[in-house]
Structure 1
Amino acid sequence: MDKYEVYPIGIVKSPYKNPGDAPRQGALKPDEEMEIEIYEKFREGLGTFEGTTHLIVLLWFDKADREIMSGTPPGAKKSKPVFTIRSPHRPNPVGFDIARIISVKDGIIKVSGLDALNNTPVIDIKPYVPSIDCIREAKGLNIK
């Protein structure tokens, strides 16, 4: 099996310390602020995000169990295969969040909308582009 290296570009500073502390994505508090601290080595790639209100944040859920192949989502009565649910426990625990940008200064992006634990590694950030990232006719899980 091939292996690939992923380098964290930063780290999340969050009030959530333990796995049960963070709300599910559907229950996020829109005014809860966190920081994404970009490592010095990568700050040249940061910019100001002028005109951009939201970011796609890819996280490495380092506390996740990589051996779990199924889980029971909140509200479900039975277990489902891991690739059909949004559990952090998966073979490659990559997290995907969309965060609202509050400010960008000195390598720190202040955001709201993350469900990450404190010190979660950030593996990438990308600007959210509504014209290509929002698929209006898409159907999927009904998460509340």
Structure 2
Amino acid sequence: MFEQREGEVAMADDPAQMRPDAGIIFIGSIASPWKRREDCPKNMNAARETGRGATLLIDPPYRPGLAGLEGASHLVVLSWLQHAPRNLIIQKPRHATEAKGVFALRTPARPNPVGLHIAGIVSIDIEAGRIELDAIDVLDGTPVIDLKPYFPSVDSFPDAVRPAKATAE
């Protein structure tokens, strides 16, 4: 399980125990090579470096929604990171010198553990509901919330910057 590190702050109420504001329906799952958290790459760049792909398995009622996706090179995958804690609001990543608010981090531990992944499409079989991806950075069996085509003309911001990194004093 997750251990709270020095400098981290948990919320008084765990969002996992709160009454939901909306319902989420899983449309499928991800078959990935990662069975244990310790083995899972920390981001999509690290996942691609392994050379191991993954498969999206879309449930039958949602397969017609894949129509028109053929020919796309990349896909935005929204996943539900069901193993992540939901109560940490300030976190201190292992590699960081200072703690930060959850919304300044790309951590899976957040009030709503929604994963965002931009993956390359290797192949699509709409009838079978299978989309082969170049890589993924989630555990095997992770639920899929939604899929969207990646459009470089509107999704890419070459001049975007990251938040300033904290330095050790």
Question: Would the TM-score normalized by the shorter structure come out above 0.5?
Answer: yes
Q: Please state if 1:5 is matched with 2:27.
A: no
The aligned amino acid for 2:27 is I
**Structure 1 residue ranges without an equivalent (≥5):** none
- Equivalenced residues, count: 143
1:112 match: 134
Question: For residues 133 and 119 of structure 1, do their structure 2 counterparts lie closer, same or farther at Cα, with a shift above 3 Å needed?
Answer: same
* TM-score normalised by the chain length of structure 1: 0.91
Partner residue of 1:133?
155
Q: 2:48 aligns with which of 3, 15, 29?
A: 29
Greater helix fraction, Structure 1 or Structure 2: 2
TM-score, L = length of structure 2: 0.78
Distance 1:88-1:110 versus aligned 2 partners, 3 A rule: same
For the Cα contact (< 8 Å) 1:22–1:116, is it kept in 2? Answer: yes
**Structure 1 residue matching 2:39: 3-state secondary structure:** coil
Is 1:39 the counterpart of 2:29? The answer is no
Query: Which one-letter code corresponds to 1:33 in the other structure?
Result: G
- The match for 2:118 is 98
Across the aligned residues of Structure 1 and Structure 2, the Cα RMSD in angstroms comes to: 1.9
Task: Give the match for residue 59 of structure 1.
Answer: 79
Unaligned runs of 5+ in 2: 1-18
Which deviations, in whole Å up to 9, do the C-alpha atoms of 1:93-113 show, x marking residues without a partner? 000000110111121001023
